[in-house]
Amino acid sequence: MKKTISILVLGALLLMPIQALASFEDVPEESEYYDAIYYLENTGAIVSGTNFNPEESVTKAAFFKMLLANSGFQPEEDQINYFGDLTGDEWYAPYANKAAELGLIDTSGEHPEFNGGNSLTKAEAAKFILRWGGIASALYIDEEEWNLDYNDISPTHIYAPYVKKVVDLGIIAPENTKYFGTYKKLSRGQAALAIYNMEAYTLTDAYMEIVASQIRDDLDVPLILILEDVYNRLTSEYYSSEDIYGEDLIYEAIKGMTEAAGDQYTVFMDPTESESFYNNLSGEMKGIGAYVHQNDAGTILITGFVDDSPAASSNLQVNDIIVKVNGAEIEGMDLETVIGLIKGEDGTDVDITISRTENGKTRYSTYTITRADFVIPYITTEVLEDNILYYNLLSFGENTGDEFAELTKEVLESSDISGIILDLRNNGGGYVNTTAQILDHFLPHGSIEFMISGTNINTMYISNGPGELMDYPTVILINGYSASASEITASSLQAYGYATIMGTQSFGKGSAQDIYNYYDGSSLKITTSHWQTPTWKDLNGIGVTPDIMTEDDPTTEEDEALEDAINEIMTMMD
């Protein structure tokens, strides 16, 4: 079957007015073949010239050239030769071999031949053009189903299913009311018209239903027909069907599938949620500016705030548990869905209900917060006392690797750095490639950074260098909200002894996800693999164990963990 994109492109061409190039003197405008021939000329399937010779018999070579060139096929080098009578140097060899590759021509047998100079009969053309269009035909036809009354073909004829189909669909016309022309040689004009008619049929709902049905059969999705029937009944027969939005039904059904996988990191995001997800990775925010995290129990906690954001100036606190958004219970929702509920346009309000435990007592409070637009700098640097370079890395965003390199270059050129602190606390991860980019600065060229392995992937990430930071005393700060890419970075440098890890046990997210984007703006994030440290350890469910335990006290203004890290750097320099 042709690729869908080909169908769409060709359909667009059919909707355009045909530009009469008047290049064929023997194809006047009143010819029944006029539109078809000039359409194929516009698509490049026919080369312009003085005469087209529409009444001449079309050769097999010319027919398949028109058919495949019209689909956008360009001759390729080094094609497999399927035919014993071709050397590969013939002008039509690429088209013949492509037709064989697509299954349009049967190449079974010990020495199949193409016979490109032979003429085609109308019945043979019917078979080839239906195969090209991906339209299945029965092997046999019952006499009760035979509705044609031609003297040159019967329901038991080998070509009967193809002839019946092209006549029913209006793709190839019979010679007259008594003869289809089963054995008559197909003319060049008839060949062009048949291809043109087939293109027109690909734009119809009937053809799209054939394609959809074959896709369903090929996918072998269990109970897909039941899903389709339920959808149709809900949107047409349900008492309040006018209140049902069809896309919402499908989105929720897909979300049900991902939820059934039982993996909180495998989620389907509708277009709004997907946009929010990608904005998070880019640092562009529409919301309140709170960092949130979902634990294994599904609880969503506030882990921090963006400086100068609405949330930072509200009464929300770190470790608050979000239980409602705008009065709606969020229990059972995935993180992306909840984030989508919290976010919104600048100047609009959102009600956040939280539970907070203090002195052994749990109380619930609701805060109304006005949303805002802001950009989060995912990485910032500061030169602390004694020339210690401090990186605050909030997320491994799409551009964070490049930003890390630029900031590092600027600081090393302007300051005499004595040590490095890489703060990965509350960093929930991000792009794997960004992780590798940052590790390149800490590991020498050729070192194994980490491995990704799964059902369809086994990749070893190797440092590209330059490793300009590897000789500096380095401390990495982590906590229970450091996950995924943060854990990859910390565990890799810990394995080589290039960094001392300080803080608390990290989250333990050892899985990696791929993201698939769809034409409507929705996307699927699916767990496809796990990552391992350079020593082949899988830390999923375990996390990174710090070399030195330390923790910030949230009730004080000081950052005790950072102070401990500074002291450790000073000790390392002694």
Taking only the tens of pLDDT, the chain with its 574 residues reads 222 222 222 333 333 334 444 478 999 999 999 999 989 988 888 988 889 999 999 999 999 999 999 988 888 777 889 999 999 899 999 999 999 988 888 887 778 899 999 999 999 999 999 988 888 777 778 888 888 999 999 988 989 999 999 999 999 999 999 999 999 999 999 999 999 999 889 888 888 877 777 776 666 777 877 888 888 888 888 887 677 778 889 999 999 999 999 998 999 999 888 888 887 777 777 889 888 888 878 899 998 888 888 998 899 998 899 999 999 999 888 888 898 899 888 899 999 999 998 888 999 999 999 999 877 788 999 999 899 999 999 999 888 999 999 999 999 999 999 999 999 999 999 899 999 999 999 999 999 999 999 887 789 999 999 999 999 999 999 999 999 999 999 999 999 999 999 999 999 999 999 898 888 889 999 999 999 999 999 999 999 999 999 999 878 888 999 999 999 999 998 7
Q: What are phi and psi of 124, to 5 degrees?
A: -65, -40
Residue 376: what pLDDT?
A: 79
Number of helices (H), then strands (E), belonging to the chain: the values are 16, 19
Q: Over the range 370-395, which residues count as b (16 or more CB within 10 Å of their CB) and which as e? A: ebbebebebbebeeeeeebbbbbbbb
Q: Please state, in angstroms and rounded to a whole number, the distance separating the CA atoms of residues 449 and 435.
A: 9
User: Crossing angle of helices 188-201/4-14, nearest 10°?
Assistant: 110
Strand partners, 358: 361
Residue 541, classed as helix, strand or coil, is coil
**Nearest by Cα to 464 from 396, 382, 405, 379:** 405
- How many CB atoms are closer than 10 A to CB 65? 25
Q: How far apart are CA 338 and CA 331, in angstroms?
A: 10
| Domain 379-573 coded CATH 3.90.226.10 | yes
Q: Domain segments of the chain: what residues?
A: 4-208, 230-260, 284-375, 379-573
Task: State the pLDDT at residue 370.
Answer: 94
Q: What is the CA radius of gyration of the chain?
A: 33
Phi-psi region of 326 (alpha: psi -120 to 50; beta: other; left: phi over 0): left
Contacts of 157 (CB under 8 A, 6+ apart): 163, 182
* Gap between the Cα atoms of 287 and 302, Å rounded: 14
Q: What is the pLDDT of residue 50?
A: 85
Give residue 214's region: left, alpha or beta (phi > 0; psi -120 to 50).
alpha
Per the CB < 8 A criterion, the answer to whether 97 and 80 are in contact is yes
Predicted pLDDT of residue 543: 95
* Alpha-carbon distances, residue 480 vs 322, 385, 468, 503, 550 (angstroms): 18, 27, 29, 9, 12
Alpha carbon separation from 13 to 18, 70, 224, 271 (Å, rounded): 9, 11, 33, 30
Q: Do 543 and 503 form a contact (C-beta atoms < 8 A)?
A: no
Which has the closest alpha carbon to 528: 252, 261, 199?
Answer: 261
Residue 295: its pLDDT value, please? 84
Residue 16: the pLDDT is 38
CATH of 284-375, one of 2.40.110.10, 3.40.50.720, 2.30.42.10, 2.170.190.11: 2.30.42.10
pLDDT at 241: 66
Q: Do residues 122 and 186 lie in contact, with contact meaning Cβ atoms separated by under 8 Å? A: yes
> Which candidate, 275, 257, 274, places its Cα nearest to that of 266?
257
Per-residue pLDDT at 278: 83
Give residue 14's pLDDT. 36
Structure token pair of residue 280: 């998070």
Cite the DSSP H helix spans in 22-120.
Answer: 34-43, 60-70, 93-101
Q: How would DSSP label each residue in 233-282?
A: HHHHTSTTGGG--HHHHHHHHHHHHHHHTT-TT-EEE-HHHHHHHHHHHH
